[in-house]
Structure 1
Amino acid sequence: MRIGCLQFAPQVGDVANNITRAEDVLSKADPDDLENLDLLVLPEMAFSGYNFKSPEHISPYLEPTGSGVSSKWARTTARKHNCTVAVGYPEKVDTEEQTSAPETYNALIVVNSGGEKLANYRKSFLYYTDDTWALEGQGFYGGKLGSFGQAALGICMDINPYKFEAPWDAYEFAFHVLQVRANLVILSTAWLTNDERTSFLSRPDAPDMSTLTYWVRRLEPVIQTNSSEETIVIFANRCGTEGEATYAGTSTVMGIKDGEVSVYGVLGRGVEELLVVDTDDLPFGKIVDRPGVPVNGEPGAPPAPAEEPEDKPPKDTGGAGAGSGLHAFHKNTHRVGTEHPSKQQQQQQQQQQRGHNNPTSTTHPPNKANRKPIPT
């Protein structure tokens, strides 16, 4: 499968220029990379920007379900490049009663190469920023997605514990991936970093290993099933800044198989670029767990040995040169500091395995019922 992640730096409320930025990234991509593309994924709320402060602030940029500027761009681009396209956007659903306010969601639309809608997923676990204006969706998406087979869709906060109040090892989204037997996971994100901005952005070509490590940790149940069938996971993140927000970039395509996490491609934290990988090729590296050994970059961490596929030269997936963070990622194996599963987690996994063998639903409802937007 040939997958593209379009990482760029949209600005809140600047829709026309944001579309131009995305088009510029595509126009600068190697034509060979765009040829035979199967899937193109953009970040969360790609063209509206993300960091809105209130329902009034975002109101002019809400888009009708499947028919706003983001959906039209997705259809045009899908037909142009003969591929499936996924784009995040702020959705409004007009109610039958004209006196009622429209329902609003943080959504992800997926259209096939003919421009036909395959899915319109609504974010289930809201972050405090979109919690001011959006309703929760009805549960994570899971089901057949065109020719890709079984897929799970999520948006950013969906991989975290619900409201950061659920236990870490509830792993709601990861267990959903297992429940629906997804062989493809698409996560459209606007993932932030809390690192000091100037220092963080001083190495734009280097992936943020803290972010990548965290993403992998949130997929622990999928890894621990040791399935011989590979699950492809796409993190399509944005980069840049909006007000006080700094985004982590590091868009990644990884594969989970036999208890291992392989990386097919990863971008730097600050580059506006198109990442294209082919999952039929060998991955260029792995992320491995070494209990008791500090993660590379932590105090006391020893240099990690090289662990690259045999006869596979490092692939330039983020424009990084020699000596950059990405070059180090090629040359080294990075440990993910996961803990051994607790008894509670093992019980959850056993219960999930029973559900995995006899799935009864393709959605995983949030812990609580839909809530109204919180006024500011």
Structure 2
Amino acid sequence: MPSKTLTFVFAAERGTPRPLTEHRCKAAVPVAGKYRVIDFTLANCLHSGLRQVLILSQYKSHSLHKHLRNGWSLFNAELGEFITAVPPQMRYESGWYRNAIDALRQNCYLIERSQADTVLLLDGGLVYRMDYAELIRFHREQGGGLTCALRQAGVGTASGGIEVKLDEADRILGLSPRGEGDEPYASTMGVVLIDKALLLEQIERLAAVTEVEMESGVDLTTQFLTPFLEGRIDTPLQPSAYRFGGERGRVTPDRYWSDLGSTDAYFRANMDLLKAESPLDLYQADWNILTYQGQYPPARTVPGPSSGNEGIFVNSMLAAGTVIRGGGVSHSVLYPRVEVEDGAIVDEAILFEGVRVGANARVRRCICDKDVVIPPGARIGEDRRADAERFEVSDDGIVVIRKGRSL
């Protein structure tokens, strides 16, 4: 069944958190110590047997394209397999992709020439693990049409989410904004499966009634559901709901899902991975997350050249090429080629590739983008007022230092 499905991954918008998407699209933002956000969606495709994947890119896509080239050139073209980036081709007009539906309309020729009978639409800016093969099987059991995967939201969910109203047969009746609340409810998660014939039949009508720009933040599922539910499309179709995190499928049902929708959400998502029982299982042996890794030497700790103290790390993630020279790292996520010098303290921090922390510096509750240099003796994350004068500080007090900055 997956072999009869064409997959589109939407990776065109800038997205959030804004400080980290200044030089890259959201799908290319590093996450979890060694991955990019899009790796989770592509790994789901790989393990689900989906081998025809088109990635719709646009905003500052070079970093994404380079990552796809280096890390995901693994399918066999001779067998009709591919992972291909598709920036705007301007075949019908000179405009950019305005939204998800417009991006599909501009690439109708790719859908028409495909031998698939279903089209899977995925948001490439989310972090979760899911067996799409079970979604496809469920879609066929329900008789096809339009199926949307839904997750359970509720306690702790940020206000502004979308609540999906369902009937007893899990048919979707409507959508409504949802504030914070204590009761669980079904919400969208950026996964839509639609019959190819239905999509081609309705794509022009969908494009005509959908004028939402990408920057508005309207999610992929809502863009597709709203015209059908509001009767703006001339079809009796009633979309089906597939419940994410059930017992169907081969992936551990950890039920984790994050849209990394703010600096604080991004920080929490990375810190959650350091818990004794992480809500996102990165270690399921038959559901590994692929990515590109540079050929760097192993991470290591060494005594400080001045103090002679051993470098230490506690409950942290250390990627290849990282060296701790007499410094201390705790409850932090360090990407490749990070250097922590003698006497430096790093606590509850996320340090991207190539970050250097000078001797006796202290860095706490901070995100340092790629190639940031922290000078010896610097203090970051200890004085919010002083930090706000130099850097961006989130609502929860997380300091963000932008890419390549030397202090």
Query: Which structure features the higher share of strand residues?
Result: 2
TM, length-normalised to structure 1: 0.26
Greater relative CO, 1 or 2 (CA 8 Å, sep 6+): 1
TM, length-normalised to structure 2: 0.25
Which has the higher Rg, Structure 1 or Structure 2? 2
